[in-house]
Amino acid sequence: MVNSITGLISNIQRYSLHDGPGIRTTVFMMGCPLRCAWCSNPEALSIEKQLMIFDQKCTLCGECLIVEPEAISLDGGLRVDRALIKDIESLAHCCPYDVFEIIGNEMTVDELVDECMKDEPFYRNSGGGVTFCGGDPIVQADFLVEVTKSLKNRGIHVTLDTSGGLPWDQWDKLASAVDLILYDLKLHDEKRHIEYTQAGNSLIFENLDHLAKLGKEIIVRMILVPGVSDDPKDIELRCKRLRQSKANVSLIELLPYHTLGKGKYTRLGMPYPLGRNNEKDKVNVEEIIQIIESIGFKVYYRSP
């Protein structure tokens, strides 16, 4: 039987090295319950297809004026009023120079599984597998449960990289099906969590308790955004809460903040939410590592 459920995928990255053990294929799923100010994949936030505009490729040939006369002006360079675009797909189709690119590829379960299976020899030799990330894959949990079942039947290790920001009953089956969970803990202070992710964190911590009951192996990830999420006190509280949950945490990974995704905001017509460029501000990694270790967790800092 052909499995007709489809998922919306922003990108598939083969030879991924840092999203779980071994050589992996990382599947970037679209849709996310959070809006983190430092997000480096803004194209995957929405569950809708997105339009990226590469204006440097524009030759002002005028082909797009035929399909989108209202939305586009070429006087003094390419100007696009996104609100007036009637159909992003036909716009992307009309441009000979690929100025307009659609993000979001609909794939069936079988198509995605086939794509993931292409690197099976590499997974086998490296202890690798497939990682779902995004966005947040739990937004498309039903689709991924099917994909995971199929991958597991083929002996593939599956990792879920999630913010945990949706009610447990929406993704419990997915959590049960995968082998490993990468779980983001961004801030303990709920006010600040709302300020920086536009969502509260109580659900995220509650879901930790569910995961603990499941006994599933978890690698907790904390991104160190200078002045935002690198406060040692907050990290200490996160770790203590983590301890309290009795979740099966094998490692805490500290990830440095980077601005590599900044350009994508421009191409998507979105403002970059973190106003100040605090990328270069110093983070006291040593102290943070000490705190985490003192609470009894193994910690790894993935230096840039």
Counting contacts by CB under 8 A, is residue 149 touching another protein?
no
Write out the two tokens for 63: 């082909």
**Residue indicated by tokens 């403002």:** 271
Counting contacts by CB under 8 A, is residue 98 touching another protein?
yes
Write out the two tokens for 76: 């003094």
CB of 9 to another protein, least distance (A): 14
Counting contacts by CB under 8 A, is residue 14 touching another protein?
yes
Counting contacts by CB under 8 A, is residue 299 touching another protein?
no
List of residues 6+ apart from 125 with CB closer than 8 A? 23
Write out the two tokens for 199: 């969502």
Q: Toward another protein, which CB reaches closer, 19 or 146?
A: 19
Q: Tell which one of 3, 5, 6, 22 touches another protein (CB under 8 A).
A: 22
Q: Toward another protein, which CB reaches closer, 121 or 200?
A: 121
One-letter amino acid of 148:
T
x-or-dash string of contact with another protein, 220-259, rule CB under 8 A: -----------------------------------x--xx
List of residues 6+ apart from 15 with CB closer than 8 A? 23, 119, 122
Counting contacts by CB under 8 A, is residue 6 touching another protein?
no
Q: Which of 88, 63, 87 is nearest to 74 (CA)?
A: 63
Q: Which of 161, 110, 137 is nearest to 47 (CA)?
A: 137
Task: In whole angstroms, give the CA distance from residue 224 to residue 229.
Answer: 5
Task: In whole angstroms, give the CA distance from residue 222 to residue 291.
Answer: 13
Residues 213, 172: contact at Cβ < 8 Å? Answer: no
x-or-dash string of contact with another protein, 61-90, rule CB under 8 A: x-x---------------------------
List of residues 6+ apart from 296 with CB closer than 8 A? 243
Task: Give the interface segment with another protein, choosing from 73-81, 115-123, 191-199, 208-216 (CB under 8 A).
Answer: 115-123
Q: Toward another protein, which CB reaches closer, 92 or 199?
A: 92
**For residues 25-44, which are near another protein according to CB under 8 A?**
26, 40
Task: Give the interface segment with another protein, choosing from 16-24, 149-157, 170-178, 188-196 (CB under 8 A).
Answer: 16-24
Q: Applying CB under 8 A, which residues contact another protein?
A: 13-19, 22-23, 26, 40, 61, 63, 95-98, 118-119, 121-122, 124-126, 128, 255, 258-264, 266-267, 302, 304
